[in-house]
Amino acid sequence: MDSKISEEFVGPRSEDTLPASAAAAVKVVIVGGFGVGKTTLVGSVSEIRPLTTEETMTQAGVGVDDVAGVERKTETTVAMDFGRISINEQLVLYLFGTPGQERFWFLWNGLFEGALGAVVLVDTRRLEVSFDVIGRLEERGVPFVVGINAFPDAPVHPVEDLRAALDIPASVPMIDCDARDRGSCRDALMTLMRYLHTLTTSTPEPQ
Ligand SMILES: Nc1nc2c(ncn2[C@@H]2O[C@H](COP(=O)(O)OP(=O)(O)O)[C@@H](O)[C@H]2O)c(=O)[nH]1
Ligand SMILES: [Mg+2]
């Protein structure tokens, strides 16, 4: 990442400066259907002012974006969210939130380039909005973990029921996650990092 570019985006804040010890930068993508909390998550954990391309939803989205269950949502992400979090002195994650709406899927190619993994956010009131996104990650072979975002009026299901409903393999971590809570989002990202680590250290299945 060109630091000059991010300075332009975020302005001169002292925490924008990466520690000299930062040795590894990892790209992580935050995905999920419309209104599941992607922009909220990036905003909660980012140590730089997140870049977001949130726009007031216009008439153009009427009948195209499914707002059932998120009627109070008045803004939508038109291109992406971008943030940064330092996991420790050496490891920095760059977070890219991708729009869930199908009409933005052409952006996926660019956004997934070089990404090591993804966090899929789901809203238990509307699981179906994340189905397609999960299918696309599986097609591309992008490793992911699932964050079950806690909306107050959302039905609580045992995680194994959610796993079955979303058809998520037993090996893929599923965790509770409150997109508004920094610690909770950080835990979700740590779960992804640990999962990626197990994938690189586990022996491949015999062919
Ligand atoms: N109660 C609650 N509301 C949330 C949570 N995450 C997001 N929201 C709200 O849900 C709406 C959609 O979130 P947003 O981050 O814009 O979704 P996106 O379309 O996935 O980027 C916003 O009004 C958020 O304030 C959460 O964990 N709990
Ligand atoms: Mg958004």
Structural element, H or E, at residue 30: strand 24-31
CA 71–ligand 2 middle distance (angstroms): 14
In this structure, are residues 143 and 169 in contact, taking their beta carbons and an 8 Å threshold?
no
pLDDT at 106: 76
pLDDT at 14: 45
CA 117–ligand 1 middle distance (angstroms): 22
Closest C-alpha residue for ligand 1 atom 3: 151
Per residue in 182-197, pLDDT tens?
A: 999 999 999 999 999 9
43 lines ligand 1 (CB under 6 A): no
Which residues in 58-179 belong to E strands, given as ranges?
A: 75-86, 91-97, 115-123, 144-149, 174-177
Closest C-alpha residue for ligand 1 atom 8: 37
Per residue in 1-45, pLDDT tens?
A: 444 434 344 444 445 666 677 778 899 999 998 889 999 999 999
Q: pLDDT band at 145, cuts 50/70/90? A: very high
Ion ligand 2: protein residues whose beta carbon lies under 5 Å: 38-39, 77
Q: b/e string for 71-99 if b means 16 or more Cβ within 10 A?
A: eeeeebbbbbbbbbbbeeeeebbbbbbbb
34 lines ligand 1 (CB under 6 A): yes
40, 81, 151, best to mutate for ligand 1 pocket (most atoms within 8 Å of CB): 40
Greater pLDDT, 18 or 95: 95
Identify which of 46, 44, 28 has the alpha carbon closest to the alpha carbon of residue 97: 28
Closest C-alpha residue for ligand 1 atom 6: 37
Identify which of 39, 55, 76 has the alpha carbon closest to the alpha carbon of residue 185: 39
pLDDT at position 85 over 50: yes
Report if pTM > 0.85. Answer: no
pLDDT at 64: 53
